[in-house]
Amino acid sequence: MKKQILRRAVLAAAISTASSGTMAAGFYLQETNPSGLGRAFAAENTIGDNAAILARNPAGSALFDRISLSAGVTYVNPEIDAAGDVTFAVVGTNPVTGEPVPLAQLGPFRDTANDYATDAFVPNFALAVPFDDCWSFGLAMFTDYGLETDFNPDWLVTHIADKTELLTVNIAPSVAYDFNDQFSIGLAVNFMYADATLKTKVPRNLSQQTGLFLPNGSAIPELSILDLEGDDWDVGWTLGALWHINDRTRFGISYHSELDPELDGDVSSDALPNNLGGIGLNNESANLTLDLPDTLELGFYHRFNSQWGLALGAMWTDWDDFERLEGFIPGQRFGIDPEPYNPLLIKEENFESGMRYSIAGEYYPCEEVTWRIGYAYDEGAARDGLNNAETAEFGLPITWRTLSIPDTDRQWVTFGGTYKFDDQLSIDGGFAYLWGDDETIQEGSIIPTDTLVGPGTALVTYFDGETTNIEAWLAGVSINYNF
């Protein structure tokens, strides 16, 4: 079997886990503040009931006539379950044609992965500072991409999906200008820090679970396939505007530029070929670029009377930019193939852009209390159907949707409220339940076993199953203070 295919397949299996566990399209996070959570984030770039609007629209600082601060945290409790049939095959290489030759096959084995998306706390902070009647400044700190997944070590396909952590932190200073209290425009510079850890390994107790042993009769060891850690800073920008149509009606628009962090770090492996003609990498310098999408958000808010208000929102996310994952290990070069890892095509994602629609109602029974209820429909970014190129190469159906990106259309139902202690201090709370449809997942991996079975051999794994549950509970609280 061609070593380049083996290298690609192993690294693809490892890094494809970089995009799961989040509860919005792709791996985007909506949770910029708990008050917006109660509205399903409808018109979150428009309403501006606290300084947290700055995470969505830098023009929002123009809404405040005194210094305003907002800080909070949202607890996200996702649950993603999957089940399917796992088949293993050991293959060799025809010395004449170079084509793979089946040596042994085991399975299928039924296996399940329950609740493999990890709970998380998502904080937020925002500060709006008016300077004069026209100019105002803002500072927002939030996260808009993140995930953490952790599969059981006995999961039969930990070499396809195992442990992944992705943390991003956004720091966005901004400035806004107000035209005659009717139209305001704002600009923010978005400094984003991204940190990622990606790990895959041979499943624990694989021999005992499947009866697949090495030729000498010993059990297959729990080898590390890939262990990568990296981080990076990147800079983007946000442009936003607010239009006060009248005292009761407001319209907002905001655009967030794309970001392309290059995660620099170290990679180790017990399975990847190295430039010395052997197997294994030890803390080699590596990097991985993420093409994070730009977004366009529209918001509309109307207050009918002293007791009722309506919020409408729509967000477009340009996931078409997220076409593939490419890894670079610049220190690894080979005589006959001088740049096998530079770049190395890891995974064709072929995400598709989508929309998020939201609607919410607000009820104001008295001056101190606000109640909110909301609904949102969030289109998934993972493409339906088969990856024809991978299907042809693997010889079995391979879906675009993977275990590590079980992305699907999601629906939100939310509830929340605000209590004002006085004209300076208030507290927000919000709750949400999200769910998505079950989807078919078919994927495979190829692990070189040259040092275990013999030269030119590999362990082929094929998963044929589906997600059996995609849902999440969210709860958040924040405090707001006007100086």
What confidence category does residue 451 fall into, taking pLDDT thresholds of 50, 70 and 90?
low
Q: Give the domain ranges of the chain.
A: 3-482
**pLDDT tens sequence across 144-162:** 877 777 778 788 888 776 7
Instruction: Give the pLDDT score at 2.
Output: 46
Nearest to 27 by CA among 417, 382, 396: 382
Instruction: Give the pLDDT score at 24.
Output: 53
Average pLDDT along the chain? 85
**pLDDT tens sequence across 202-259:** 888 888 888 877 777 788 787 887 787 888 899 999 999 999 999 899 999 999 999 8
Structure tokens at 261: 């962090």
Nearest to 42 by CA among 295, 372, 363, 304: 372
The dihedral formed by the CA atoms of 178, 180, 182 and 184, expressed in degrees to the nearest 10: -10
- Higher-pLDDT residue of 476 and 396 is 476
Q: Which residue in this structure is represented by tokens 């690894």?
A: 332
Please tell me the least confidently modeled range out of 334-338, 347-351, 415-419, 454-458.
334-338
Q: What percent of the chain has pLDDT over 70?
A: 90
What confidence category does residue 20 fall into, taking pLDDT thresholds of 50, 70 and 90?
very low
Nearest to 231 by CA among 171, 283, 169, 189: 169
Alpha helices by DSSP H, 25-149: 34-38
Instruction: Give the pLDDT score at 45.
Output: 95
What confidence category does residue 56 fall into, taking pLDDT thresholds of 50, 70 and 90?
very high
Instruction: Give the pLDDT score at 16.
Output: 46
Instruction: Give the pLDDT score at 1.
Output: 44
3-482: CATH, from 3.40.50.300, 2.160.20.10, 3.30.9.10, 2.40.160.60: 2.40.160.60
> Residue 49: CA atoms inside 13 Å, Cβ hemisphere, count?
31
**pLDDT tens sequence across 277-294:** 777 788 888 887 778 889
**CA-based Rg of the chain, rounded to a whole angstrom?**
25
Sign of the Cα torsion 328, 400, 6, 227 reads positive
List, in order, residues 6 or more apart from 386 with CB less than 8 Å away: 397, 398, 399, 400, 442
> Is residue 446 predicted with pLDDT exceeding 70?
yes
What confidence category does residue 394 fall into, taking pLDDT thresholds of 50, 70 and 90?
confident
Query: How far, in whole angstroms, is CA 101 from its chain's centroid?
Result: 38
pTM above 0.85, yes or no: yes
**pLDDT tens sequence across 379-392:** 988 888 888 888 88
